Amino acid sequence: PDRYAVIGHPIAHSKSPFIHDLFAQATGQDMTYEAIDGGAAPGGFERAVQAFRAAGGRGLNVTLPFKLAALQLADEASADARLAGAANTLIFEGAHARAHNTDGIGLVRDIEHNLGTPLAGRRVLLLGAGGATRGVLLPIARAGAARIFIANRTADKAHALARELAPHLGGVALAGGGLDALAGAGAFDVVVNATSASLSGQAPAVPPSAFAPGALAYDMVYGQGLTPFLAAARAAGCARVADGLGMLVEQAAESFALWRGVRPDTRAVLARLAVPLD
């Protein structure tokens, strides 16, 4: 069988082996998928990747905190990975390593296919200006969003990210500002929390006026139940809320398709993992 793995630190609770094992069964692929702890020591990630390749490994998923290092060690990178400044997928062909980033397309697929919200012509609000936002901007623009606004607690970071990436989004209107600018920024059809606030039980302050009638509120984290952001969205009258579990499964399916040339059906896997938000 061909060998694949996910590498991160920590990695024990990763759902990726479970997801990819189900994909492999469903598509009849002869492969194994394991979890590798890259450790905290400097150079540990690179050594672990080298050992995996030496043992015949064909591809890796890469998770925190190694996504930047993964891009750096590749010989070639997709546009999504380059603009994200990070890679979550590596493909090894002999001595050649290719980097991809399937996080953004995973988010887009979840929003469009699983949640029934085509992004073409939609106004999208991204909360946060860190790696999570950077990683999804190009795929959201490619999906045809009418307008993207990045709102961040630290306004300067949102301005800088918008300025840097605007020229690469094929003419999609991109602007950035502080959370306080949201009061005058109009309404959005899709509001994505790409901050790490949920992990500390907090939420970025979003005024109710930011949610258009029928808007979708999406939190990229998963396994946290109804996060403070999603609860606030509901309180603001937003009936459609989702967490990032679907994004996790869809980014996995995109990686699987890059490696194996076959895209697994994600519905059965999502059904196995889904937990009601409340």
> Does residue 67 carry a catalytic annotation?
yes
Parallel/antiparallel/unpaired status of strands 147-152 and 173-178: parallel
- Measure the N-to-C terminal CA separation of the chain; round to a whole number of Å: 41
Half-sphere exposure of 118 (CA within 13 A, CB side): 3
209 is in an annotated binding site: no
Does residue 153 bind ligand ATR (CB under 6 A)? yes
The nearest distance, CB 194 to ligand ATR, in angstroms, is: 6
User: Judged by CB under 6 A, which stretch of 76-84, 104-112, 152-160, 236-244 contacts ligand ATR?
Assistant: 152-160
21 is in an annotated binding site: no
Task: Determine which one of 9, 20, 58, 67 is catalytic.
Answer: 67
The nearest distance, CB 153 to ligand ATR, in angstroms, is: 3
Which C-beta is closer to ligand ATR: that of 119 or that of 232? 232
Does residue 244 bind ligand ATR (CB under 6 A)? no
DSSP annotation of 240: E
In the numeric block, which tokens belong to residue 151? 């709102």
Sheet holding 2-8, edge to edge: 31-37, 2-8, 59-62, 89-93, 96-100, 76-77
Residues 109-138 that bind ligand ATR (CB under 6 A): 128-132
Parallel/antiparallel/unpaired status of strands 188-193 and 123-127: parallel
Cα separation, 80 vs 260, whole angstroms: 19
47 is in an annotated binding site: no
Please tell me whether residue 213 adopts helix, strand or coil conformation: strand
Binding residues for shikimate: 14-16, 63, 88, 103, 222, 251
* Residues catalogued as catalytic: 67
Q: Which residues bind ligand ATR (CB under 6 A)?
A: 128-132, 152-154, 157, 195-197, 202, 204
